[in-house]
Each structure stands twice: as structure tokens, then as C-alpha cells.
């Protein structure tokens, strides 16, 4: 339950990165992961010491979808 909540909050925070990119132009892949690491990773890793030993597909899905959007791929790829 907690992992799904964190994933939903991270998806909301991704919207701010997308708005920032739209306003200031798109970044190179190296630059695009800096805001992700600064804004999204802390949300996804919150209390990871408790649930971190389990595989969390919902957490991985956030990162995969960001990478797909960064590469310009369809989300069904």
C-alpha cells in the first residue's frame, strides 16, 4: 500500500519536471536525470529501509515511464 502511494506522489511530481522542460526546452539525457534524482528519487525511496528488500513494480514503473518519455517512445513499448 505504501509503495503505491509513493508511486502516485512521484507521478504527480513528474508533472513539474515536464512543465519545467516545456518552459525551458528539453534536456539532454544526462541533464534530464538530474531533476529526476533530485525531486523524484527522494519520494520513491522514502522509508525504503522498511520495504526496500521487496521488489516493487510500481516504483520501477515510474522510472521506466520517465525513461520512455525521455527517449520519445510509446508507453506500450
What is the mean pLDDT of each successive set of 10 residues along the chain, which is 77 residues long? 88 90 82 90 86 83 90 84
Helix (H, G, I), strand (E, B) or coil at 38: helix
pLDDT reported for residue 1: 64
Cα dihedral 62/12/39/5 (nearest 10): -70
Residue 24: what pLDDT?
Answer: 83
Q: Determine the pLDDT at residue 9.
A: 93
Q: What is the pLDDT of residue 64?
A: 93
The answer to whether 40 and 17 are in contact (CB under 8 A) is yes
Amino acid at each position: 500500500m505504501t509503495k503505491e502511494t509513493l508511486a502516485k506522489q512521484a507521478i504527480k511530481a513528474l508533472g513539474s519536471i515536464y512543465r519545467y522542460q516545456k518552459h525551458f526546452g528539453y534536456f539532454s539525457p544526462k541533464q534530464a536525470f538530474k531533476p529526476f534524482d533530485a525531486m523524484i528519487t527522494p519520494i520513491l525511496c522514502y522509508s525504503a529501509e522498511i520495504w526496500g528488500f521487496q521488489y516493487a513494480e510500481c516504483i520501477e514503473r515510474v522510472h521506466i515511464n520517465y525513461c520512455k518519455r525521455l527517449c520519445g517512445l510509446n508507453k506500450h513499448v
